[in-house]
A and B are shown apart, each in its own frame.
Chain A
Amino acid sequence: MKSLAELAAIQDKVKDSIVLPEGSGDVRVVVGMATCGIAAGAKPVYDTLTDGAKDLSNVTVKQTGCIGICQFEPVVEVYEAGKEKVTYVKMTPEKAQRVVEEHLKGGKVVEEYVYNYKPDQTDGGYGTLAKSDFYKAQKRVALRNCGVINPESIEEYIAMDGYKALGKVLTGMSSDDVIKCVMDSGLRGRGGGGFPTGRKWSFTAANKADQKYVVCNADEGDPGAFMDRSVLEGDPHCIVEAMTICGYATGATEGYIYVRAEYPIAVRRLEIAIAQAKELGLLGKNIFGSGFDFDLHIRLGAGAFVCGEETALMTSIEGNRGEPRPRPPYPAVKGLFAKPTTENNVETFANIAQIILKGAEWFASMGTERSKGTKVFALGGKINNTGLVEIPMGTTLREVIDVIGGGIPNGKQFKAAQTGGPSGGCIPAALIDTEIDYDNLTSIGCMMGSGGLIVMDEDTCMVDIAKFFLTFTVDESCGKCAPCRIGTNRMKEILDKITSGTGTQADIEKLEELADHIKQSSLCGLGQTAPNPVLATLRFFRNEYDAHVIDKKCPAGVCKALLTYKIDADKCKGCTLCARNCPVNAISGKVKEAHTIDTDKCIKCGACMAGCKFGAISRG
């Protein structure tokens, strides 16, 4: 690739295949084939569509990345020139066959398969995701190409202005210009820490060295988080482009993408992207004739959560056991292979090309005063619309849950939302109007984190949830420093005691004492944040802890050891169903007489209560 003109020529050639020219009669069908889609069965759907459309000259069928609506996978979208796109959900090969026959060949939408289909709806307001509550409040920057382009085609990426930012940088901007642009945009690290990206770049740029590196942290490990995977699977070239830009800005000529081995599709698409970029001269020597050289390598993580910590990640790339090292020296001074290194998260990089192309002001116009742009969240837990969402910073939690998320299923009450995964904390219902940005979340003892957003309803025990996250950290502690290695396990042991009904007030105090100690004295971010789920739940839900240790009750009815099932003799009709459902024969009673539960035998599985038609069984 020698010039912008060369790039523009490629773009001209392919752009019509994505942005269908009006009146052309062209149809573009895309099938969401990220990991989630494929797991839900998108491959046979794709095959059926490809096969069915092979004789239709005006129809192209492409795979694409994550479209965002997890619970509706497999998802197929049909674009027709000059028309709203149609979103088909929960597709099967059989349904796909009907879409081929009726829609692609017959030009008639198969209404009953479309998103949000309501049989009584007659106004045609169905089928387009773009108009849905789920999408309306979203703003797609990092995810702009996800679910739109074929991630395995560099031409489609170029069609969507891909590599244009790199061309702009290499043909007309100094490295200082680039850093200033990123700094002015207000972009902060999307991996969780929120450090200003431009400043990070400027530190590395300021250090002289014979070799510098750019590292992309794609070791996404928070339970329930899949933002980075979606970007890598849906738009791998945007990472290649951004890392090259970062290399130019900071003076690095080599980059490493550290991606977890559990993401085989992301790895494969990255490999394809790198190979394609090399072939077009967008990686390698003298890119855009600028004299700038840049090369990229992929390194696979072996599944350790701690390798998401930047120093542990670099230690792992170097071929050693992935353990953090003390800072300072910071990576900008002494990073990968002891050379100045810039490390950014996938989502951070995913914003870069847009910032360069559209300008710092455009990016800074979105978001709040100190948190600019958008943030991608993986929305999960007790929420109607699970999925991948990208919202402007400053959106309230209420909007995310009630509007985008479509509220809590089964009419339950919203109780809290966990951000930042095992390193973060919970936002209680009372703070549902919190505007989501770095500083607001930090001020209430939570953290932005990488973007996992887990919604909890009234049936969630907050002590149990703290134990869940702590168990994760105990498993993932690398074992290097004593407070994290031993302390987190001791905290978990105390939570075990509390949830099993043997905890005391003194245990809660010791828990707080340990939490504070681990936070203050651990070596790395993993340990320093490990107590957060406990501290946050203690702060907002201390009454639940007290209930466990004083009343020996679990208010949410989750901690089995603290539950007792009782049959109300007045309501029991003696139908014997519960006795038959009980897997341990703990229920006895004669037909048509009130039954009783032997609490010594009862394993608290709840089968009796679930089956009782008379509401005679209660839990307390």
Chain B
Amino acid sequence: MEMVNIKINGTPLSVPNGISILEAARYAGIEIPTLCYLKDINEIGACRICVVEVKGARSLVTACVYPVNEGMEVFTNTEKVRKSRRHTLELVLSNHRKECLSCVRSGNCELQKLCKDYGVADADYFKGAMPAFTFDDSAAHMIRDNSKCVLCRRCVAACNEQGLGIIGANARGFDTQISCAFEKNLADVSCVSCGQCIVHCPTGALKEKDDTDKVIAAINDPEKFVVVQTAPSIRVTLGECFGNPVGTNVEGKMVAALRRLGFDKVFDTDFAADLTILEESNELLERITKGGTLPMITSCSPGWIKYCEYYYPDQLDHLSTCKSPQQMFGATVKTWYAKKMGIENIVVVSIMPCTAKKFEVGRDDQNAAGVADVDIALTTRELGRLIDGAGIRFNDLEDEKFDELLGESTGAAVIFGTTGGVMEAALRTAVEKLTGETLAALEFTDVRGLEGVKEASYEVAGLTVKVAIASGLKNAKIIMDKVRAGEADYQFIEIMCCPGGCINGGGQPVQPAVEHNFGNLAAKRAAALYAQDEAMPLRKSHDSPAVKAAYEEFFGEPGSHTAHEVLHTSYVARPMYK
């Protein structure tokens, strides 16, 4: 690598030629502030916060996109630079609905932090007229409030990175706003509800629809038996809401906190993840042996399902008919568990890394007991706020265990939370089933890692099993175009809507851009899941005692009539625009 000699604030450095000033400054231990910059996906130089002085330059230079060259001298913290950043912030504030005291992002807002850092003492310094901002709460999962938008376009980049391009800039100049094509509502376009826009928003302009009041009301209703389930990835991300480092596993404290919130039972979606493996591997083997549609594609991720319904409505037969673990869990609670325990009036609350889950709970054909399988889906962030609002000192809690039966699971279920996890869990079960032998090594490392598209091939009992894994819809498109063209010779494909899988889901705690850019966010979260899997006594879904009990007492065999009634669903082709 060719290196160049530069100076940052007088400190001589040798850095790779051509990297941005922003990246180079990190070598000197300096974080240049940004608002719009997302490495690789939003290098647009729009917000003008990262401006620095470069010796000899005519005006201020945009550090996020300006490459270093030999002999360059950069000054990141001069009076001129600080004044420019402050004025830009003052201008942004003059167009911002300053609801900071109660904003959902208060304390976690990148704009707020910058205003504090640069001493914006008078938020009304450039006070003036504001444009007519749009407010869009049409979608099931989120709210777009342009009065808090800073037009950094990180949401646009995130959506484009998903290969969707649902939102973009409309109108011009002072009236510029981010919205859908032809100013349509989000509910009327082919938004898949993934929420990637939300986790990339620096302010409170984008947020999930808050359902915490519904949960509090249910808990406080003595007539209702409120059950909570937590998705696999929540245990390694919830801690971030309470200041823990990225990748901290807080399962025990999470369970304790949920109990203190007053849930009648604290269960684990992991139970249903194991159940999914049994149903899905059975479905796969049936398709292989009976000549069903192949490749079969996972159906855990509701954003992916919605995407397939919008963009590949002709390929729906490839989708596994298995409900997602969230829905399988709710369906099982409201049928088998309710009957077994003799409980009525059950409310199922789920804690999900995902905003599309809010859409999924309202889907058709997701009501095994005649009522919605799951009543309320909360994001990790909403749970964080519930815990804060209840005054629970999360970090001081002693670890507790999930409630019995539906709180039991295996390591295979835990890794559902990261890309490749469902595939690995399925392989652990399928291989043992096909060979009839106990696996010596449980790690299928070929399917691990954060690459967007992964492929692997295994020889199992004389059968070649070829699989593919995609995370992020841009990558899903690569696979699906092959499927549509008849060129995908895989038997089984795992697709997760969000890049990296659920650990990077649209419902996860929002980290500042710098974590996305330089913090290995997804890798740290995924590592925590694999560590828990490795430490668990049971690591194969078919070993789960709870799942065994469920089949013995209620479902019979995987793929049975009851299993189909309760655990499987159907899909619909969706028009792209209403």
Residues of chain A touching chain B, judged by Cβ–Cβ distance below 8 Å, are 304, 321, 323, 325-326, 328, 474-483, 485-490, 493, 510, 513-514, 517, 519-523, 528
Contact = CB atoms under 8 A, between A and B. Distances in A.
A325 B45 contact: yes
30 contacts: A326-B43, A326-B44, A326-B66, A328-B66, A328-B67, A478-B172, A478-B176, A479-B172, A479-B174, A479-B176, A480-B151, A480-B169, A482-B47, A482-B48, A482-B91, A483-B91, A485-B174, A487-B126, A489-B128, A489-B174, A490-B94, A490-B128, A517-B87, A520-B60, A521-B48, A521-B51, A521-B59, A521-B84, A521-B87, A523-B46
Interface string B36-70: 00000001111110010000000110100111000
Contacts of A326: 43-45, 62, 65-66
A510 B125 CA distance: 9
Contacts of B84: 517, 520-521
A278 B91 CA distance: 52
B88 interface: yes
A486 B45 contact: no
A279 B46 CA distance: 45
B129 interface: yes
B172 A477 contact: yes
Among A304, A481, A521, A522, max chain B CB count under 10 A is at A521
Among B65, B168, B171, max chain A CB count under 10 A is at B65
B288 interface: no
B92 A486 contact: yes
B23 to A, nearest CB: 15
Q: Which 10 A-B pairs have the closest CB atoms?
A: A479-B176, A326-B45, A477-B173, A486-B91, A326-B65, A517-B87, A489-B174, A493-B128, A521-B48, A490-B126
Contact of A479 (B44, B80, B171): B171
Given A481-B46, A483-B91, A474 B174 contact: yes
Interface string B173-216: 11110000000000000000000000000000000000000000
Given A479-B174, A482-B151, A490-B128, A522 B48 contact: yes
Nearest to A475: B173
Interface in B1-60: 43-48, 51, 59-60
Question: Main SS of chain B's interface residues?
Answer: loop
A475 B80 CA distance: 29
A528 B172 contact: no
A521 B92 CA distance: 14
A503 to B, nearest CB: 14
Contacts of B453: none
Question: Main SS of chain A's interface residues?
Answer: helix
B93 to A, nearest CB: 9
Given A326-B65, A517-B87, A520-B59, A485 B151 contact: yes
Contact of A490 (B46, B91, B150): B91
A485 B46 CA distance: 10
Interface string B158-177: 00000000001101111110
B95 interface: yes
Interface of B: 43-48, 51, 59-60, 62, 65-67, 80, 83-84, 87-88, 91-92, 94-95, 126, 128-129, 150-151, 168-169, 171-176
B151 A477 contact: no
Contacts of B175: 479
A486 B174 contact: yes
Nearest to B172: A479
Nearest to A519: B59
Contacts of A481: 45-48
A514 B126 contact: yes
Nearest to B47: A482
Contacts of B168: 321
A517 to B, nearest CB: 4
A532 to B, nearest CB: 13
Contacts of B80: 520
Contacts of B65: 326, 328
Contact of A486 (B62, B67, B95): B95
B387 to A, nearest CB: 36
Nearest to B86: A517
Contacts of B171: 479
Contacts of A517: 83-84, 87-88
Given A483-B88, A493-B129, A304 B172 contact: yes
A480 B152 CA distance: 8
B571 to A, nearest CB: 33
A480 B44 contact: yes
Contact of B46 (A321, A480, A489): A480
Contacts of B48: 481-483, 521-523
Contacts of B150: 482
Contacts of A321: 168-169
Contacts of B67: 328
A482 B46 contact: yes
Nearest to A329: B67
Contacts of A493: 128-129
Contacts of B95: 486
Among A513, A517, A519, max chain B CB count under 10 A is at A517
Contacts of A520: 59-60, 80, 84
A493 to B, nearest CB: 5
Contacts of A488: 173-174
A225 B172 CA distance: 23
Given A321-B169, A326-B44, 12 more contacts: A328-B65, A474-B174, A479-B175, A481-B47, A481-B48, A482-B91, A483-B87, A486-B126, A489-B128, A493-B129, A517-B84, A528-B59
Contacts of B92: 482, 486
Contacts of A521: 48, 51, 59-60, 84, 87-88
B43 to A, nearest CB: 8
A477 B88 CA distance: 16
A479 B128 contact: no
B200 to A, nearest CB: 18
A482 B151 CA distance: 8
Contacts of A477: 172-174
Given A493-B128, A521-B48, A528-B59, A485 B88 contact: no
A511 to B, nearest CB: 11
Among B46, B47, B66, B173, max chain A CB count under 10 A is at B173
Contacts of A482: 46-48, 88, 91-92, 150-151
A510 B124 CA distance: 13
A486 B151 CA distance: 11
B41 to A, nearest CB: 14
A305 B173 CA distance: 11
A523 B45 contact: yes
A485 B173 contact: yes
A328 B19 CA distance: 12
B59 A479 contact: no
Among A474, A481, A510, A522, max chain B CB count under 10 A is at A481
Contacts of A487: 91, 126
A325 B44 contact: yes
A479 B62 CA distance: 17
Contacts of B172: 304, 475-479
A274 to B, nearest CB: 31
Contacts of A523: 45-46, 48, 62
B318 to A, nearest CB: 32
Given A482-B47, A493-B128, A523-B45, A476 B173 contact: yes
A478 B168 CA distance: 13
A228 to B, nearest CB: 23
Nearest to A322: B172
Contacts of A489: 128-129, 173-174
A362 B286 CA distance: 85
Contacts of A475: 172-173
Contacts of B88: 482-483, 517, 521
B91 to A, nearest CB: 4
A493 B94 CA distance: 12
A300 B46 CA distance: 26
